[in-house]
Amino acid sequence: MITRKAKQFERSLSRRSLLIGGGQAALTSILVGRLFYLQVVESSQYEALSDRNRFDYVIMPPSRGRIFDAKGRLLAGNAEAYALKIIPQFTDDLYQSLRALSQLVTLDDAQIADLMEEAERQPSFLPLTIRDDLTQREVARVVVRAPELPGVSFDRIEKRIYPQGLLTGHLTGYVGRITKEDIAQGRALPELINIRNGKSGIEYAFENDLRGEPGREQVLVNALGRPIKKSIKEQPISGIDINLTIDINLQSYAASILKRGRNTPLSMKSAKVQRAIANDPTLEKVLSASDGLVFEDAKGRVVPPETGSVVVIDVQTGAIKAMLSTPTFDPNILSGRISHKEWNKLVDHPRTPLLDRCIKGQYAPGSTFKMIVALAALEAGIINDASTFFCPGHKELGNAKFHCWNKLGHGRVNVVEALEQSCDVFFYELALKTGIKRIASMSKRFGLGDETAIMIPGEKTGLIPDKEWKQKNIGEAWTPGETVVASIGQGYVLATPIQLAVMTARIAHGENKILPVLRQEQKTTNHDKMGVSTASMAIIRRGMDAVVNGKNGTARNYKLDLDGISMAGKTGTVQVKRITKAERERGIVDNMDRPWKFRDHALFTGYAPLDNPKYAVAVVVEHGGSGSSGAAPIARDILTYIFEQGI
CATH number for position 483:
3.40.710.10
**Does residue 327 have a cis peptide bond before it, meaning omega lies within 30 degrees of 0?**
yes
314 and 185 within one domain:
no
530 and 464 within one domain:
yes
Residues 6 or more apart whose Cβ sits within 8 Å of residue 292: 268
515 and 442 within one domain:
yes
Confidence of residue 52 (pLDDT cuts 50, 70, 90): very low
Q: Does 46 reside within a domain?
A: no
What are 229-276's pLDDT values in tens digits? 667 778 889 999 999 999 999 999 999 999 999 999 999 989 999 999
380 and 481 within one domain:
yes
366 and 385 within one domain:
yes
Residue-level pLDDT at 194 = 63
> Among residues 303, 333, 354, which one ends one of the domains?
303
177 and 61 within one domain:
yes
Contact, 571 vs 625, CB < 8 A?
A: no
242-243 and 67-68 beta bridge pairing: parallel
> Among residues 192, 215, 243, which one ends one of the domains?
243
Q: Does 585 reside within a domain?
A: yes
Q: CA 345, CA 330: separation in Å to the nearest integer?
A: 12
* Structural domain range at position 420: 308-645
Task: Give the best-scoring range by mean pLDDT among 99-113, 233-247, 578-592, 629-643.
Answer: 629-643
Report which of residues 20 and 82 the model is more confident about: 82
529 and 473 within one domain:
yes
Q: Does 470 reside within a domain?
A: yes
Q: Does 454 reside within a domain?
A: yes
Residues 6 or more apart whose Cβ sits within 8 Å of residue 39: none
Contact, 376 vs 532, CB < 8 A?
A: no
What are 138-186's pLDDT values in tens digits? 888 888 888 888 888 887 888 899 999 999 999 999 998 888 788 787 7
314 and 294 within one domain:
no
402 and 532 within one domain:
yes
380 and 402 within one domain:
yes
Q: CA 547, CA 370: separation in Å to the nearest integer?
A: 12
Q: Does 44 reside within a domain?
A: no
Q: CA 367, CA 351: separation in Å to the nearest integer?
A: 25
Report which of residues 52 and 466 the model is more confident about: 466
286 and 164 within one domain:
no
| CATH number assigned to the domain comprising residue 236 | 3.90.1310.10
Q: Does 27 reside within a domain?
A: no
The alpha carbon of 225 is separated from its chain's Cα centroid by a whole number of angstroms, namely 39
What are 82-100's pLDDT values in tens digits? 888 888 888 888 999 889 8
Residue-level pLDDT at 83 = 84
Q: Does 510 reside within a domain?
A: yes
Rounded to the nearest integer, the mean pLDDT of the chain is 88
Contact, 75 vs 168, CB < 8 A?
A: yes
**Residue 58 in this model has a pLDDT that exceeds 70:** no
Q: CA 309, CA 361: separation in Å to the nearest integer?
A: 9
Q: Does 250 reside within a domain?
A: no
Q: CA 504, CA 498: separation in Å to the nearest integer?
A: 10
375 and 491 within one domain:
yes
Structural domain tally of the chain?
3
Q: CA 455, CA 320: separation in Å to the nearest integer?
A: 12
